[in-house]
Structures are given as C-alpha cells and as structure tokens.
Amino acid sequence: MSAFPVVDYYEVEGLLSEEERMTRDVARVFTDEQILPVITQHFREGSFPRGLIRKMGELGFLGANLQGYGCAGINNVAYGLIMQELERGDSGVRSFASVQGSLVMYPIHAFGSEAQNERWLPRLAAGEAIGCFGLTEPDFGSDPGGMATKAVRKGAEFVLNGTKLWITNGSIADIAVVWAKLDGVVRGFLVERGAAGFSARDIHGKHSMRASVTSELSFQDCRIPADNLLPKTDGLRSPLSCLNQARYGIAWGAVGAAMACYQAALDYSRQRVQFGKPIASFQLVQQKLVHMLTEITKAQLLCLQLGRLKDAGRLRHTHVSLAKRNNVAAALEIARLARDIHGANGIVDEYPVIRHMLNLESVFTYEGTHDVHTLILGRDITGISALE
Ligand SMILES: Cc1cc2nc3c(=O)[nH]c(=O)nc-3n(C[C@H](O)[C@H](O)[C@H](O)COP(=O)(O)OP(=O)(O)OC[C@H]3O[C@@H](n4cnc5c(N)ncnc54)[C@H](O)[C@@H]3O)c2cc1C
C-alpha cells in the first residue's frame, strides 16, 4: 500500500479496470519506496538515479505499451498511470522512461527491421541498455524540419555530420536514435555508443531537470553501418509520430507532479499556523487549494478519455496537443501556487514543490512548447496555419 493519499475527487478510479488499478498501484509504491527517498539528493547533486533503471525494467515500465520483444504490452491507460506516478516522484525519472519507451523503443518498433527489433528491444525493455533521441539542434528547436544534420551513404556505411542539443540520456545512452537528412529527406539512424566520430557531453548549470542527464551530441564524419538506418522512416512525420507517443505520457505525467504539489500544499496549510490559526482556515488559501484540485480533476478526466481514445485507435495528434498543453500549464500553475502556500519554506528542497516547479518549466518547453501546441490546435480548428 502507498502512503500517498489518493487525490481523486471525482472517483475517476472507479472508471479504471482492475488491471489498470493494479498497474497504478505498483507504480505508486515504486515511487514511494524507490524514487522519493533518493530524489532530493540527486536533484541537489545534479545526477540521475541510475539504480532505478533496472528496477523499472524488471517491473515492465519501459516501453510498457508496446507489444512483443519483452515489452509488457499493457493498454495505454495503464501506461499513462505509470507515467503519472513516476512524475509524482520527479519529472526527470518520468522523462527517462518517456525517452526510453516512446522515443527510442517506439521508433525501433515502428520503423526498425526485425533484426533491429530483436537486437535492441528486449535489452531496452529490461533496462539493460539505455537509449536517447536526437532531434533538436542548436539552431532548430520548434522547427526541427530545418535540421542541418546530414547523412551520406558511402559504400557499406552512412557518414553523419551535425550536432544535436538538449538530448535527454545523451551521455549515458548505449544507443542513440538520431534524425538526419539523407538526400534531403529526414530519416532515423541508430548510432551506438563508441561509434567513430560520435561524442556526447553533458549540459551543466541547469536549474530544472537536475535529476536527469541532458547532453549535446556531436557527429563529425561519424561512420555507422548501413544496416543502422531505420528502414521505415520517411520524412519529418516519423520523428513527429514518436513525439506524439511521448507527449501522451507527458500529459499523464504532469498530473502526477500536480498531485504531489497539491498534496504537499494541503498538508502544509493544515499545520502551518499564522495569526493563531492554520493558514488552511484563510479564504484566500482555500481558494488556491480549490483551484488546484479543480484543475487536477479536469486533467485526470482529460487523460482518461485521451487514453480510451488511444486504446480505441481513434486518437488524433491534436488530441494529444490539447492534453499536453492543458495539463502541463495547469501543473506548472499548481506548482507555483503550492510554492506560494509554503511561504519561504517553498524555496527549499525539504519540500518537493520547488523541484517540481522548476522541472515543469522544462516540460512546458520540451516536446512542443506550450505555444507551438496552441498553434497546432489553432490550425486544426480554423484550417489556417499560424505556425509557419
Ligand atoms: C530538459 C530538456 C530535455 C530535452 N530533451 C530532448 C531530447 O531528448 N531530444 C530532443 O531532440 N530534444 C530535447 N529537448 C529539446 C526540446 O524539444 C526543445 O527545447 C523544444 O523543442 C523547443 O526548442 P528551443 O528550446 O530551441 O526553443 P525555440 O524553438 O527557439 O522557442 C523559443 C520560444 O519561441 C517560441 N516560438 C518558436 N516558434 C514559434 C512560432 N512559430 N510561433 C510562436 N512562437 C514560437 C516558442 O514557443 C518559445 O517560447 C529537451 C529540452 C529540455 C529543456
């Protein structure tokens, strides 16, 4: 049993199947027992809790919604609930799982050869191998189609040249899914650790996602076997389809961070006394708590229907944009309100809120910024693009 009180005002739990609830409970206990005891120290030190990787693999959390090759093959709602619980621990741990499952295992599963699937997926699912996803470049963030990284075929090899920036898991990855233009078309390539001409260095000085590795990848005449092309990749829509998978998990994950902040603020407001009363007795504090719970409840319902649509095969990428945009913005606002309710204590890491708040600033920006998703939705409903 988890010690975390259930934040479920609308009995959303009653809409889950037994299997979905059980999966959520396993992830909930994992977060309580494995993430929360170590995360503050890792955030302080700026290190990723690598000891968690194998454990997540053993529990089937990595690539959990994929079928075959050692993956758990659970439905998308159960997968979302795992992401929710991991991010209740820390956005960095959820980011690791999102990158590994949605941005590395998914493209190998969707676009890879049988040999690539067999070679990589069982090890990635078990947490025996680590992956990263290189799309963003120094000069191309929201506009990845402009990427400068190029691949050229030379005999039995491809030669890659370019730089990728802000890559989660970059320096600890055994395998990088790298997006580069081959004859002007965006294609995916598997670059293994130690490939000639490939190097990774970590980005330091981060105030957000400190318990996550973020790196720059450099390819200088990097030679990889021709077999390392993901054969079914075909243009920018291939990496964008991976991002859609990851954003789906982020929409759920943001709810977890918001729940952690809300619960911390509620607990704190009940025991912090000012003017002779708990601060929870003041109307303005209650208004903040009510707003937080309302936004969490809306986000929970949004996620559940998002997951049901995905499981029914009716999910559109714009559905995911709406959920990512709404839930991350709501979680960030909730984290800031929770920080406020904690007063000065809200800025120290004895309480989880400042860590979540700082992490969520990254989540607001990555996987399509908040405003980019606004424009994706605006284009969908008006038929007019304001993005380009
Ligand atoms: C912690 C972290 C981890 C990450 N991990 C990965 C990873 O594993 N792999 C990877 O490939 N990338 C990763 N990223 C990169 C991330 O995807 C990019 O930061 C994101 O796509 C935004 O790009 P940018 O930072 O270059 O911002 P920019 O694209 O330069 O945007 C800056 C601002 O301009 C706005 N803007 C841009 N274009 C428009 C427009 N058309 N209309 C209106 N406003 C616009 C944006 O909304 C934003 O407010 C990560 C980033 C972070 C912070």
Q: Which of 90, 91, 104, 136 to mutate to test the pocket of ligand 1 (most atoms within 8 A of CB)?
A: 136
What does the H/E/C string look like for 137-205? ECCECCCHHHCCCEEEEECCEEEEEEEEEEEECHHHCCEEEEEEEECCEEEEEEEECCCCCEEEEECCC
Q: Tell which one of 100, 166, 355 to mutate to probe ligand 1, the residue whose CB is within 8 A of the most ligand atoms.
A: 166
- pLDDT at residue 1 above 90? no
Active site residues: 367
User: What is the chain's alpha carbon radius of gyration, rounded to the nearest angstrom?
Assistant: 21
Rounded Cα–Cα distance for residues 2 and 21 (Å): 13
User: Percent of the chain, pLDDT > 90?
Assistant: 98
Is residue 386 lining ligand 1, measured as CB closer than 6 Å? no
As a whole number of angstroms, the longest Cα–Cα distance in the chain is 79
CA of 330 to the centre of ligand 1 (A): 19
Q: How far is CA 226 from CA 147, 198, 234, in A?
A: 21, 16, 16
Residue 3 scores a pLDDT above 80? no
214 lines ligand 1 (CB under 6 A): yes
Quote the ligand 1 centre to 142 CA distance (angstroms): 5
Q: Which residues contact 145 (CB under 8 A, 6 or more apart)?
A: 186, 236
Distance in angstroms between the alpha carbons of the first and the last residue of the chain: 50
- Decide whether any atom of ligand 1 lies within 6 Å of the 139 Cβ: no
CB 35 within 8 A of CB 86: yes
* pLDDT tens, residue by residue, 297-330: 999 999 999 999 999 999 999 999 999 999 999 9
Atom of ligand 1 nearest to the CA of 143: 29
Ligand 1 within 6 A of 332 CB?
no
Structure tokens of 173? 């990855």
Mean pLDDT over residues 118-139, rounded? 98
Q: How many other β-carbons are positioned within 10 Å of the β-carbon of residue 36?
A: 17
37 contact partners, CB below 8 Å, separation of at least 6: none
Residue of the CA atom closest to atom 42 of ligand 1: 387
Average pLDDT, the chain: 98
For the cut 90, the answer to whether the pLDDT of residue 337 exceeds it is: yes
Q: Would you place residue 6 in the very low, low, confident or very high pLDDT band (cuts 50, 70, 90)? A: confident
- How would residue 235 be classed by pLDDT, with cut points 50, 70 and 90? very high
- Ligand 1 atom showing the smallest separation from residue 134 Cα: 11
What mean pLDDT comes out for the span 265-273?
Answer: 98
CA of 130 relative to ligand 1 center, distance in Å: 23
Confirm or reject: Cβ of 228 under 6 Å from ligand 1.
no
Q: Please work out whether the CB of residue 142 comes within 6 Å of at least one atom of ligand 1.
A: yes
Ligand 1 near 144 CB (within 6 A) = no
Task: Record the pTM.
Answer: 0.98
CA of 318 to the centre of ligand 1 (A): 18
pLDDT, residue 4, reads 81
Which tens digit of pLDDT belongs to each residue from 150-167? 999 999 999 999 999 999
Instruction: Provide the strand spans (E) within the chain.
Output: 131-134, 150-154, 157-168, 175-182, 185-192, 198-202, 214-225, 273-274, 277-278
